[in-house]
């Protein structure tokens, strides 16, 4: 049965690989839970790519077959959008994890997108724990931003954007993975990027739900490392270092007498968080000490509980606090 999500797009596509049985079963359950009807993109699996197709589509680069396969699968969605005359499409990769309020937020975002008069893409996720800075007093769920697209796990594009992307790749061979290709094509062709103030999708291969098949570092470090690192970065960025101008003005208020102490505590926690990131590459001792300092500094901030409550209320905020 078609739900409200399908009412706001002409098609929903899921990119997967025919042999990825665990991911196929997962995304089927996930989208069924949200009542979303979709079509598979199984074309261009890595083991089916011919030398002729690779030679005609890609120039020499460090991309492997899996990355080239993903690029071709995304291009397939652009072609289907253009050839079928779809107004806009929603595209998921097979490790997309949807927030409980996905439908409500998505529909509000699409109503806002109806007012956009230029080619556009809407990014629904938070790849690499990247978040768009929200302008003070913004009334729209969409934020036009120059933040580089960090992933391609859940995106919406309109037909104008699909046609412009196809035009962009028509005269060149590709050297970039999917996210980089979209960044470069959209910048060159005048396609605007919009993010959500509060993302409604996480990528399972980034947060440890699945083993990555594209990122060599995540493959080498394993799912446990990805699980821990993702939750650490999410908590740090959403609770400590979310760059939002409205945060203090609207949601967090501290008595003037305590403001200086609050600023100092939060600044100290942020500095310690940065040292944790450095320690992840230079040594566990530094990371452990910095983590302790960060937690203690944050707990001494007068705004500590307000920040935690604010994060808790966001679509993926409960997971950020709990994990």
Mean pLDDT by 10 residues, the chain (323 residues): 81 96 94 96 95 95 93 98 98 93 94 96 84 67 88 95 97 93 96 92 70 57 58 60 42 57 76 68 68 79 72 53 46
Question: Can you name the residues that pair with 96 across neighbouring β-strands?
Answer: 203
Residue 100: partners with Cβ closer than 8 Å, 6 or more residues away: 315
Per-residue confidence (pLDDT) for residue 49, from 0 to 100 = 95
Whole-angstrom Cα distance, residue 50 to residue 48? 6
Under 8 Å between Cβ of 185 and 154 = no
Q: What is the pLDDT of residue 202?
A: 87
Where along the chain do its domains lie? 4-206, 216-322
Q: In the prediction, which pLDDT does 226 show? A: 56
> Given this model, what pLDDT does residue 268 score?
81
Could you give the C-alpha distances from 74 to 12, 86, 174, 285, in angstroms and in order? 12, 15, 13, 43
Contact (Cβ atoms closer than 8 angstroms) between residue 200 and residue 99: yes
Which pLDDT value is given to residue 263? 75
Per-residue confidence (pLDDT) for residue 270, from 0 to 100: 75
* CATH assignment of 4-206, among 3.90.550.10, 3.40.50.10860, 3.40.50.1860, 3.40.50.1370: 3.90.550.10
| CA Rg value for the chain | 21
What per-residue confidence (pLDDT) applies to 284?
A: 66
Beta strands (DSSP E) in 160-227 are: 192-196, 201-203
pLDDT of 291 reads 76
pTM, 2 dp: 0.69
Q: Which residues, 6 or more positions from 182, have their beta carbon under 8 angstroms from its beta carbon?
A: 74, 121, 149, 152, 165
């Amino acid at each position: 049965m078609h739900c409200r999500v399908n009412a706001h797009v002409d098609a929903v596509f899921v990119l997967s690989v025919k042999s990825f049985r665990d991911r196929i079963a997962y995304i089927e359950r996930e989208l069924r839970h949200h009542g979303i009807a979709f079509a598979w993109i199984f074309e261009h699996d890595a083991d089916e790519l011919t030398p002729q197709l690779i030679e005609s589509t890609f120039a020499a680069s460090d991309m492997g077959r899996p990355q080239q396969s993903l690029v071709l699968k995304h291009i397939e969605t652009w072609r289907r959008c253009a050839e079928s005359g779809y107004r806009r499409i929603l595209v998921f990769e097979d490790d997309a994890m949807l927030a409980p309020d996905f439908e409500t937020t998505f529909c509000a975002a699409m109503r806002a997108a109806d007012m956009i008069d230029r080619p556009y893409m809407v990014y629904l996720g938070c790849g690499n724990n990247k978040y768009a800075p929200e302008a003070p007093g913004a009334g729209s769920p969409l934020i036009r931003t120059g933040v580089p697209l960090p992933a391609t796990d859940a995106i919406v594009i309109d037909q104008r954007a699909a046609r412009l992307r196809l035009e962009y790749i028509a005269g060149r061979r590709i050297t970039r993975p999917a996210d980089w290709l979209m960044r470069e094509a959209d910048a060159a062709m005048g396609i605007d990027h919009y993010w959500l103030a509060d993302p409604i999708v996480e990528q399972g291969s980034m947060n440890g739900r699945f083993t990555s098949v594209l990122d060599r570092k995540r493959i080498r470090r394993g799912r446990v490392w990805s699980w821990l690192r993702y939750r650490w970065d999410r908590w740090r960025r959403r609770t400590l270092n979310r760059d939002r101008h409205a945060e203090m003005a609207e949601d967090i208020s501290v008595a003037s007498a305590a403001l200086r102490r609050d600023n100092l505590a939060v600044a100290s926690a942020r500095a310690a968080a940065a040292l944790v990131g450095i320690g992840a590459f230079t040594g566990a001792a530094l990371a452990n000490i910095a983590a302790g300092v960060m937690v203690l500094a944050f707990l001494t901030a007068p705004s500590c509980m307000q920040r935690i409550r604010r994060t808790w209320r966001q679509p993926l905020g409960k997971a950020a606090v709990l994990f």
